Homo-oligomer: A and B are copies of this chain.
């Protein structure tokens, strides 16, 4: 981009809710999304929850003409669900999988199996763009949110990832389902520590669901009972951005879909899509990092986040201890049984204990031993990552406080 030329960039973001066999009218909706993206002329499309590679391939075939560049990020058992379509060449990609993402035994939530990640693509028009698609752990119960520490670790890792990878980019774009309300500590942490700006808050012109909500009762796929405390819905999908080096970005317009797709009876997804029109312009001098002005607030946010991570750490330590104790007890039971069996073999009286119950008990003990050991290992990892995040936050806090 030479001189004072400007670039207008249209970004589309949607959590597609495309879980095979589980999401309602999935194939029909994927077709609709593809058709709409072909008609509209976005520059960058960031999608989440495209869990099936077949759906991605279908989209890719359909969108090949208008979005010649694309990438699908693979990770975890099911996948990351993330993909990017672009009008500009994608020069390079990198996937960062969050170190914590729920519990493998919470099968009904299933986040653990997804390998939730942030996917980064380096795209090039005349400015280098760093669009990231990402999704954080879902919130299943706002009152007693057992996953808050994990989501905070993810928000922290996402922020650190962006800080470390974005240094040479001109513009950073982050689109995705953060599973956090705008006032939540995780999003304040992410924006405060990276300097990213919320397109909804910055937009000159807005059109769409009230308050920019992206999970609304109007949508026929949303669970109405979950949205009872929020009659307007909630805003958990975001487009965030910042300019680095000598560029300036302004959000000219932000739109969301509002339930059903235009002229159709079915919405694109259970989430609303977020569409931003950004105006990028080179300006004379380099812009300094806007951290300094936000620092006093950042310290408060960091302290709050660190406290929550600390709560999670203590819970994880407790679970590590309980599972370790359970494994030890099962081992003890097995040893006792082995001694009794050896005694019986040596001709000692084994008592009236029937063989069948003896075997069943042994199998039960083995089962508990394996399960408890697995849990112990898992919670050991959890403790390590929570501890590490807490320490990193403490380090940053100290650094902020030491600055004149």
Contact = CB atoms under 8 A, between A and B. Distances in A.
A355 B356 CA distance: 8
A195 interface: no
B74 A385 contact: yes
* Most B-side CB within 10 Å, residue of A91, A161, A168: A168
Interface residues of A, number: 40
A99 B80 CA distance: 13
Given A167-B168, A387-B74, A381 B115 contact: yes
B77 A99 contact: no
A89 to B, nearest CB: 9
Contacts of A131: none
A387 B360 CA distance: 43
A164 B355 contact: no
A392 B94 CA distance: 9
Given A75-B384, A167-B168, A97 B99 contact: yes
A160 B165 CA distance: 11
A341 interface: no
A209 B96 CA distance: 38
A226 interface: no
A3 B164 CA distance: 27
A120 interface: yes
Interface string A370-404: 00000001001100110110001001000100000
A76 interface: yes
B387 A160 contact: no
A217 interface: no
Contacts of A160: 92, 94
A8 to B, nearest CB: 26
Interface string A96-122: 110100000000000001010000101
Contacts of A113: 377
Contacts of A227: none
Contacts of A355: 356
A163 B91 CA distance: 12
Given A97-B99, A363-B363, A377-B77, A92 B163 contact: yes
A58 to B, nearest CB: 18
Interface of A: 73-77, 79, 91-97, 99, 113, 115, 120, 122, 160-161, 163-165, 167-168, 355-356, 359-360, 363, 377, 380-381, 384-385, 387-388, 392, 395, 399
11 contacts: A73-B388, A75-B99, A76-B384, A77-B381, A113-B377, A115-B381, A120-B164, A122-B164, A164-B165, A355-B356, A359-B363
Given A75-B384, A115-B384, 12 more contacts: A74-B384, A77-B381, A92-B163, A95-B99, A97-B97, A115-B381, A122-B164, A165-B165, A167-B167, A356-B356, A359-B360, A359-B363
